[in-house]
Each structure stands twice: as C-alpha cells, then as structure tokens.
Amino acid sequence: MQDAGIVMDVMQRSSSAVDSLMGIIRGGSERRSATESRDTRMSALSRLAKSTKIASIMTMQDLAYMFASHTQQLMENETYISTAGRFQQELEEEYGFSTGMKVSPMDLLINYDVISHDGTIEAGEFAEVWLQMYQTLAQNPAVGSGFDMVRIFKHLARISGAKNVNEFVRKGGSAQIKLKQDEEIEAEVQKGNMRPI
C-alpha cells in the first residue's frame, strides 16, 4: 500500500495534475473561494463526461450507421420524405421542395450524410463567462449588431439550467422595428422623449 501511494505521487507529479484538476477539493482549515470550488467541480465533471462521451459516441455512431444501412438496403422504391431538423431550410432552398423530398436508395450516401449525435451534455461551459460576454454585447451596439442576441440569451439560459426558456418567447415573433420619419424624430426630441445619440 505504501508503494501504491508512492506510485500515485510520481504519476501526479509527472502529469502535473494537481488535486483540483482531478476534482479533489484540497484539505486544510482555510476557507475555499467560490471560484476554487467551481473549478474543482468542473474538473470532476469533465473527468466523468469524458468516459460517458466516449461510450456514447461508440454506441451512437454504430447505431446510426446500422439504421441508415438498413434503410438503404430495404428501400425498394423512391419515396417522398418530410424534411426535419436543422437542415430542413437548407434542403428546401437547395432542392426547391417545401413539403417533402423525393429520395431513392442511391441518394443516401451513408458515410457522408449520416450525422450521429450522442446524448452527452457539455459540462465545460461557464455561464458566468457567457453572461459577461452577453452584457458586453448588449452594451456595445457596434459589436452586438453582428450577433443574434436572442440565440445567445437562450444558450446562456440553457447552460445555466433553464430547460423551458422557449415557453417565455412572445407568440407571433419578435417586436417589429418601424422606422420613423425625420420630422417625427425631431418632434419627439423637442418633447424630450428622444435624445440624440
């Protein structure tokens, strides 16, 4: 047992993996900061996530390839399929179909078309960093205008733990922006409702 402890110490020193990187909270009587606790927790989660991601990818890629191969093998005739997912709009623009696409067995290029997704959740993103970036973008219109602020906010909400942020989106889309005539703007400035930038 004593030799095992020595070997573990040599492994830790040679890999430069301190206890916090291994997800082990350091001992001692002094208080730990919130940042130290968060970083230690994220290190522990990343170690767990690695194994689950490898297992999930090894499973899902084989299953996706098998299902796609069976679909191609057992398709006898051309068929119309409904497009769905994130590529729906791209496919509709490319092929001009809005209700469905005509597909034959030879149209399926399994090694290129099949994209398998694993079921793991990324644990390496820091909500605090995204919040600071969102605030920077919101305060700087020149930079923020190049980004989709609604999507960034939804991403921030998701990694912060909110699972139903889409339930709070206004029905009918976002607010409509209407341009005012110069005379209307000048009148609002005179009333004190607007001010020059």
Residue 98, pLDDT score: 62
Spatial distance between the Cα atoms of 118 and 120, rounded to a whole number of angstroms: 6
User: What value does the mean pLDDT of the chain take?
Assistant: 77
Q: State the average pLDDT over residues 131-140.
A: 89
Helices (H), the chain: 2-15, 34-74, 88-95, 110-113, 127-139, 141-144, 149-159, 182-191
Q: How confident is the model at residue 168 (pLDDT cuts 50, 70, 90)?
A: confident
Tens of pLDDT, residue by residue over 65-101, are 898 888 888 888 887 776 666 666 666 666 665 656 7
Q: State the average pLDDT over residues 42-53.
A: 77
Global confidence as pTM: 0.41
Residue 122, pLDDT score: 58
Residue 87, pLDDT score: 64
* Among 80-84, 117-121, 191-195, the least confident range: 117-121
Residue 55, pLDDT score: 84
